[in-house]
Copies of this chain bind each other. A is one copy, B any other.
Amino acid sequence: MDQRLKNLDFAFNPRSIAFIGATESIRKWGFLILNNLLTGGYEGEVFPVNPNRDTILGLRAYASVRDIPGDIDLAVFTVPARQVLSSLEECVHKGVKAGLVITAGFKELGEEGARMETEMVRMARDAGMVLVGPNCQGICCPKNRLYPWMPILFHPAPGKIGYVAQSGNILNMLIGHAVNAGLGISKAVSSGNEADISTEEYYAYLAEDPDTEVIVSYIEGIPDGRRFLEYARSVTRSKPIVALKGGRTRSGISAARSHTGAMAVREKLFEAACRQAGITLTYSIEEAGVTAAAFVNRPLPRGKRVGIITGGGGLGVIACDFCTEIGLEVATLSGETLSKLEELLPDWWVPGNPVDLVAGLDFTILKPVIEILMKSGEVDAVMFLWIGAPRRKGEAEASQSERGMDISAVWNVMDQHFMGFYGELNTLMHELQVPLYIATSIEMQDTPGRDGCNPIVFRDVESACRAVSAMAGYRSYLDSRG
């Protein structure tokens, strides 16, 4: 790892943090971000810096970084832009390894800001210090319970997805899709103006990070396209990069310019180059967030043949249409495989793929049905679609007792049966290298920390299909590189 990335590592794994601009004014980021850091459970030392206070949130406050005893790994800046340079100078003298500049008002606001930004970078680089930001919402590293960022009291769990986003808002939304699937994150960074560390350097850092399995990235501008693609191509050899590009149209580019001062790139060229570099391109925030989550702990499909199991005929129709429309193949099952399925399914089952479980309430057949498809050699991926009405437990419990009948056995049939044998299916999936994609309306948000066992990610048919397609595409890319 080069020295810059080693210093960047101090930002995610700091032993001590100076918080420059700490305050107790509850409507200021200097309070809200500090509060997120403290309530998140970070176990290193935190030193608030504020010349006008003795203590902040019960911690001793310091007038300057230089007054803090001991080494400082990370300095967080929330002071106004015009004060950043002088504070940074103190950090340089103190020998701080990394800076996180939340503060806005630099390049994105015109010439004077750009001048300050250039000076800030020069000062940091001369001292061998790295900078995240400016004009960003912060970073997180849940393994260290480290959340120096804007989203109020948002403390997602540790996991395997690494995030690099040129917009804090979109970062939150991307992470939200993982959280909703019960997954966690390895490291996340809102990279802001990228005055010092750029998107591709974050990729390089995450590529070497053992906790990160997949990288997801929101991109508005790339000043050095050649370097970006070179780094990306190196990273995708070992880890997938799922990217969403903002500024694909004239009006999007114009909005991006006023947001992060990003330079436009020629869209068609950029797309083609990304594909050559093995980047998985997506076209909505949801698609990016959910596709990244899909890569976690799931083998890549060997090809595009999909076996579909549904809890309702209509879902099978929708899945067939969508698979076909995005270039997947609805697998043709052999007579032998269909016979095996026929033995399990009711008399009125119509043989074929999708395998419709024909609205039954008996889920004991689900495991053997999935197993038959996985072992058939006739499918590269198995999708199980079980989506129905939204379920609200409170309401259900209230109603079911009304007439004194206990129907929890039926209500929970899916959870019980499915979760009971998911472990076995997970083992089989990795043994046979046939990935399983489950779309369901069951709420997974309340069961976090499932990274070792990632059964359910998808809330709808389309996102499950897109994930199969994205992962098959990445596999095909890896194969083509040999």
Question: Is B314 in contact with A168, judged by CB distance below 8 angstroms?
Answer: yes
A155, B398: Cα distance in complex, Å: 12
| B-contact bits for A321-333, CB 8 A (1 contact / 0 none) | 1111100001000
Q: How many copies does the complex hold?
A: 2
List chain B residues, Cβ under 8 A from A150. 359
Q: Mark each residue of chain A from 305 to 336: 1 if its CB lies under 8 Å from any CB of chain B, else 0.
A: 00000111111111111111100001000000
Hey, which chain B residues are within 8 Å of A390, CB to CB?
154, 176, 179-180, 445
A39 at the B interface (CB under 8 A):
yes
Question: A356–B259 contact, CB under 8 A?
Answer: yes
A249 to B400, Cβ gap below 8 A?
no
Q: Which of A234-242, A405-413, A429-437, A472-480 contacts B (4 or more CB under 8 A)?
A: A405-413
Q: Point out which of A24, A26, A104, A352 has the most chain B C-beta atoms below 10 A from its C-beta.
A: A26
Q: State whether A249 and B318 are in contact (beta carbons under 8 Å apart), knowing that A152-B407, A410-B26 are contacts in the complex.
A: no
Closest chain B residue to A407, Cβ basis: B26
Least Cβ distance of A394 to chain B in Å?
A: 10
Interfacial chain B residues near A172, Cβ < 8 Å: 387-389
Contact A395 to B155, CB < 8 A, known contacts A284-B322, A390-B180, A405-B35: yes
Q: Report if A176-B258 is in contact (Cβ < 8 Å); known contacts: A26-B410, A314-B166.
A: no
Q: Which partner residue on chain B sits nearest A310 by CB separation?
A: B169
A223 sits at the interface (CB 8 A): no
CB of B155 within 8 A of CB of A405, answer no
Cβ distance A42 to chain B, nearest Cβ, rounded Å: 13
Interface string of A148-188 (1 = CB under 8 A from B): 00111111000000000111111011011001100000000
Q: Tell me the bound Cα distance from A441 to B285 in angstroms.
A: 13
With a CB–CB cut-off of 8 A, which chain B residues contact A402? 38-39
Partner of A462, one of B286, B314, B354: B286
Which of B247, B286, B325, B396 lies in contact with A317, CB distance below 8 A? B247
Check A372 for interface membership: any CB of B closer than 8 A: no
Minimum CB–CB distance for A102 against chain B, Å: 10
| Set of chain B residues within 8 Å of A441, measured between Cβ atoms | 173, 176
User: Would A252 and B105 be within 8 Å (CB), given that A26-B409, A388-B151, A460-B284 are in contact?
Assistant: no
User: Contact at A39–B259, with CB atoms within 8 Å?
Assistant: no
Instruction: Check A173–B388 contact: CB distance below 8 A.
Output: yes
- In this complex, what residue of B is CB-closest to A350? B258
Q: In the complex, are the beta carbons of B389 and A285 less than 8 A apart? A: no
A–B complex contacts, Cβ < 8 Å, 23 sampled? A26-B405, A27-B409, A39-B400, A39-B402, A155-B395, A155-B399, A165-B314, A170-B312, A172-B387, A173-B389, A173-B441, A176-B389, A246-B321, A247-B317, A249-B320, A249-B325, A252-B324, A259-B314, A284-B322, A284-B462, A285-B462, A286-B460, A286-B462
Given A153-B399, A173-B389, A284-B462; 12 other pairs, CB 8 A cutoff: A26-B409, A32-B410, A168-B314, A169-B314, A169-B387, A173-B441, A176-B441, A252-B318, A252-B321, A258-B352, A284-B460, A285-B462
- Please give me the 5 A-B residue pairs with the lowest Cβ-Cβ distance, nearest first: A167-B314, A169-B312, A259-B313, A252-B321, A246-B317
